[in-house]
Amino acid sequence: MISFTEENYLKIIYKLSAETDHEISTNSVAELTQTKAASVTDMLRKLSEKQLVSYQKYQGVRLTEKGENLALIVIRKHRLWEVFLVNKLGFNWDEVHEIAEELEHINSEELVQRLDEFLGFPQCDPHGDPIPDRNGRMPELGYKNLSEIGETQVVIMMGVSQHSTNFLQYLAKIGLNLGVIIEVIEINDFDKSLTIKIGGDNQYFISYEVAKNILVKTF
Amino acid sequence: MISFTEENYLKIIYKLSAETDHEISTNSVAELTQTKAASVTDMLRKLSEKQLVSYQKYQGVRLTEKGENLALIVIRKHRLWEVFLVNKLGFNWDEVHEIAEELEHINSEELVQRLDEFLGFPQCDPHGDPIPDRNGRMPELGYKNLSEIGETQVVIMMGVSQHSTNFLQYLAKIGLNLGVIIEVIEINDFDKSLTIKIGGDNQYFISYEVAKNILVKTF
DNA sequence: ATATTTTTTTAGATTAGTCTAAAATTTATT
DNA sequence: AATAAATTTTAGACTAATCTAAAAAAATAT
Ligand SMILES: [Mn+2]
Ligand SMILES: [Mn+2]
Ligand SMILES: [Mn+2]
Ligand SMILES: [Mn+2]
């Protein structure tokens, strides 16, 4: 069997792997698990024995197919529960991440299937992240980061790629909600910050850092 | 903070306390937690330090008010999740106990409140067990055990006080479902076993052991 | 090419929860 | 009341997950 803790490591290695095709470093895992590098080394050896990651000391780590499948199952559960919390229980999208961090470890395939059905087989979670199907296949939603959009283009906001309460509440404050129409007015060459128009109305100035974490759909 | 494991001990001590007004023995706790007496002793000392139980060595254990409140919160969560699984996800009542054993440890008051509301503030779970309110007060449902009912009396089945899959599937087989009408035809003096008529139709012979675990409402 | 810095691993300890085997205490039986 | 039996606790050990401090390896800078 796989423990709660092991599942968290797999999920975090998966997330880091999405951003690079190199092996993942011990330190970067330590940062996300909020543990020390020494603890990560121990866990990597254990996961490696279970054939969930391939790991050579000093060379970083990579998920095996088996490890990736398990990671995707956990992510599927996390995102389905987030949909449940928002669509059925009426939570705000900035309130659900922590609860889903617990719910994602509940162990029952039957439960996940029935939950999926109960929610109407959603394609993405309240933050716009795609939900893997029962076989771990991620639907391709084709969203882009707002930071990749050129001047004068008009897009619809579909999600975020950062879930911290801070960030989500900042977005709410300036009116960046799911489904709003965003026009890129101007991009500052120097720091890539941008001026945008939200809903054809208010004009706002946002940093590159913020834009990078906003998912949009082009027309 | 209180751990998953500690919560399970509290719940089990609560359950045992309902059947007696003596202190609870180390061995009886060990049996329900599926651990050894030595492990229970360790845990009782720990719970005692946290003021969740009162415990003197060799004298058995009893919940403090604080411990009882925590136990009731866990039981509330367990039963609400069981209602969710049956009423919303369409599980059978004999399939939900194990899953609820995991869900009951999810930590969020807000979640429990919203779930309660979403379910329409149910008074009892799919097995007929009362659901404590947010303050830990158990609704008084006034159900009796079928074993206490006299000959010729007619009652409605409202629940069970034993949740094992075995038992529930046996009930399903002979047609003892929630809401059925049961007439006590004859009680055997010797072993207290009884002959009953289910739904005005089929006549069945059931043991005292079974009757003791069936909750009924009189007219 | 060395030296310095950073990253990673090892060594040794700690805490929670569990176990077995032995000792202590309580309960039951003669 | 003394002995036997059952229950409970202690002692000592184990595993999972973590930590700090020191050692080893890799990356970077001179
Ligand atoms: Mn989340
Ligand atoms: Mn999400
Ligand atoms: Mn149950
Ligand atoms: Mn129940």
Q: Smallest CA–CA separation between B116 and chain A, in Å?
A: 10
The closest of B45, B18, B12, B48 to B30, measured between CA atoms, is: B12
pTM for the model: 0.91
Tell me what the pLDDT averaged over chain B comes to. 95
Quick one: average pLDDT of B130-155?
93
User: Are the CB atoms for B216 and B145 separated by under 8 Å?
Assistant: yes
User: Are the CB atoms for A193 and A206 separated by under 8 Å?
Assistant: yes
Question: How crowded is residue B86: how many other Cβ atoms within 10 Å of its Cβ?
Answer: 17
Which numeric CATH code is attached to B144-218?
Answer: 2.30.30.90
Please give the distance, rounded to the nearest whole angstrom, from the Cα atom of residue A165 to the centre of ligand 1.
Answer: 10
Residues in A touching B88 (Cβ below 8 Å): 118
Q: Strand (E) positions, chain B?
A: 53-55, 61-63, 144-145, 154-160, 181-187, 194-198, 203-206, 214-218
| Model pLDDT, residue B184 | 95
User: Are the CB atoms for A160 and A213 separated by under 8 Å?
Assistant: yes
Question: How crowded is residue B195: how many other Cβ atoms within 10 Å of its Cβ?
Answer: 15
Domain B144-218 in the same topology as domain B74-141: no
Residues in B touching A106 (Cβ below 8 Å): 99, 102-103, 106
Helices (H), chain A: 4-18, 26-33, 37-49, 65-83, 97-103, 109-118, 165-173, 208-212
Residues in B touching A90 (Cβ below 8 Å): 114
Q: Which nucleotides of D are covered by protein (CB under 7 A)?
A: 7-12, 16-22, 25-26
Contact B95 A110 (CB under 8 A): yes
- The architecture in CATH of the region B4-63 reads Orthogonal Bundle (1.10)
Say yes or no: domain A74-141 is CATH 1.10.10.10: yes
| Model pLDDT, residue A181 | 95
| Model pLDDT, residue B187 | 94
pLDDT band at A91 (very low <50, low <70, confident <90, very high): very high
Beta bridge partners of B197: B183, B203
Quick one: average pLDDT of A57-70?
97
Q: How many Å from the CA of A62 to C1' of C22?
A: 48
Could you report the per-residue pLDDT of A156-189, keeping only the tens digit for each? 999 998 888 889 999 999 999 999 999 999 999 9
Q: Smallest CA–CA separation between B34 and chain A, in Å?
A: 19
Of residues A111 and A203, more confidence is placed in: A111
Question: How crowded is residue A210: how many other Cβ atoms within 10 Å of its Cβ?
Answer: 22
Within 13 Å of residue A176, how many CA atoms lie on the same side as its CB? 28
The domains of chain A are located at 4-63, 74-141, 144-218
| Interatomic CA distance for residues B78 and B65, integer angstroms | 20
Could you report the per-residue pLDDT of B28-80, keeping only the tens digit for each? 999 999 999 999 999 999 999 999 999 999 999 999 999 999 999 999 999 99
Quick one: average pLDDT of B141-149?
93
| Model pLDDT, residue A48 | 97
Residue A96 reports pLDDT greater than 80: yes
